[in-house]
Structure 1
Amino acid sequence: MAHQIFAVLVRAGATVASIDAHLVKPMRLVSREHRIDGYRLGGQVTGAWDRSYDPAADANNWHTCGACHGTTQIDGTTCLMCADAAQAGRRPGTVVPWSYTDWARYPGDIVALPRLLHPGWRFPPGRTPVAWVDLAGVVWLDTEQANFAGSDSGDVPPRLRTVFRDLLNGRRNPDPTVLPAVRRPTVAGWPLPARHPGRIQRERSAFRAANWSVAVVDAHS
């Protein structure tokens, strides 16, 4: 099973508790292309964009040992299943699930979009997404081969830079479900002059990066 990172645009209010609802619509566009079998936040790539994060060191992933039930002993001898707990910095009698499907969701897998827009932003090497997804569609970033070959440097790919420019310049609508603003009359009761068509609509529907975040999605095929 192949696992790849997708960068999915979601509203800034998304949390690990609500992320599934935020991902449904944009990821439906990917599913239509029949290129993935499933997806989840983080998953096998949990903490991919946070160099300091280790799922095994996250106390949320420490589970009571099922062999000794947390006592550290089995029939008077040391439990081999959780014997490494102290050495690994865990509480005695705990283990880390071997499967990522049992890992706790990591809030750091929902990244504020302005962080990615910063000129100094770089992905950790080998962790550059292969696709950008929002409600405007899917953009394949032409990074899959570099990821596979181990030559991914983490630089923001040119196609993703184009997406960012299009978002900021209003050339890409990340949520076409939002109804356009309607023109309202002026204080005097008269509409705006014809020489200013769409002024209110542009001002009210302008893209604001602070209103968005990007989810690190593990897409598997």
Structure 2
Amino acid sequence: MAHHLFAVLVRATATVTTIDAHLAKPMRLAARTHHIDGYRLGGQVTGAWDPDYDPAADPNNWHPCQACGGTTLVHGAGCRACADAVEAGRRPGTVVPWSYTDWTRFPGDIVALPRLLHPGWRFPPGRTPVAWVDLSGVVWLDTHQANGTDTGAVPPRLLAVFHDLVTGRRDPDPTTPKALRRPTPADWSVPWRHPRPRRSRPRFEPADWSVAVVGAHS
């Protein structure tokens, strides 16, 4: 089973509670171009873009030990299942689930797009996404060719995506109804022509968007 880090464009209104609805359509496109068995916000790459975050150190991921019921004792002896709790900085009698599917979703896995557009932005080394996904499609970033030399520099293909977004050359949400064009005097001069007015496409506003760190497996 292979695991991948996807950068998925979502609305800025997305939260860890509503993220599944925001990811459904763009990740459906990703599934068409790559055999993806499943995906999740963060997943195995939870906290990938926040070097200061450790899922094991997040109290939200500390669960009562099932072996001892959180008492730290089993038949009067110290519980081996949670014996490392205090040494690891956790509350006594707690464990961290081994499966990322049991980890609490991390809000830091939804990053405001303007942060990525900043000229000084760099991904943490080894955490550069393999693909960019939005409703216009999937852009594979060729980061698999880094051969272990992932320095975190923004890939050229992703820089091109950013340029197309801010210049209006890439429509990240083609499902939005197209605005109508206003009729011209020439249109009304022909009796049988009754054009519907068409407005220009709304300007792309980076502040209206975020990027989700998605762990996918195939």
TM-score by length of 2: 0.91
The number of equivalent residue pairs is: 208
Look up the equivalent residue of 1:212 and give its one-letter code: W
Distance 1:60 1:183 in 2: 51
Instruction: Report matched runs for 1:90-101 at 5 Å.
Output: 90-101=90-101
| Offset, 1:37 | 1.7
Look up the equivalent residue of 1:107 and give its one-letter code: P
Look up the equivalent residue of 1:162 and give its one-letter code: A
User: Which residue number corresponds to residue 166 of structure 1?
Assistant: 164
Give deviations 1:156-208, integer Å, cap 9, x for gaps: 00000000000000000000111122356xxxxxx6788xxx99524xx1000
**Structure 1 residue 63 and structure 2 residue 69: aligned?**
no
Q: Note if contact 2:15-2:110 (Cα within 8 Å) is conserved in structure 1.
A: yes
Distance 2:27 2:99 in 1: 23
Find the residue that maps to 1:86 and give its secondary structure.
coil
| Offset, 1:87 | 1.1
Structure 1: 5+ residue stretches without partners: 185-190
Find the residue that maps to 2:30 and give its secondary structure.
helix
User: Which residue number corresponds to residue 121 of structure 2?
Assistant: 121
Structure 2: 5+ residue stretches without partners: 187-196
Find the residue that maps to 1:201 and give its secondary structure.
coil
Q: Percent identity?
A: 75
| Offset, 1:36 | 1.9
| Offset, 1:76 | 1.2
User: Which residue number corresponds to residue 104 of structure 1?
Assistant: 104
**Structure 1 residue 39 and structure 2 residue 39: aligned?**
yes
Distance 1:161 1:61 in 2: 35
> Which deviates the most, 157-166 or 172-181?
172-181
The Cα RMSD (Å) is: 1.7
Distance 1:193 1:201 in 2: 18
Q: Note if contact 2:57-2:90 (Cα within 8 Å) is conserved in structure 1.
A: yes
Distance 1:58 1:111 in 2: 19
Distance 1:172 1:62 in 2: 42
User: Which residue number corresponds to residue 189 of structure 2?
Assistant: none
TM-score by length of 1: 0.90
Give deviations 1:134-162, integer Å, cap 9, x for gaps: 0001000010132xx32101000000000
| Offset, 1:48 | 0.3
Q: Note if contact 2:179-2:198 (Cα within 8 Å) is conserved in structure 1.
A: no
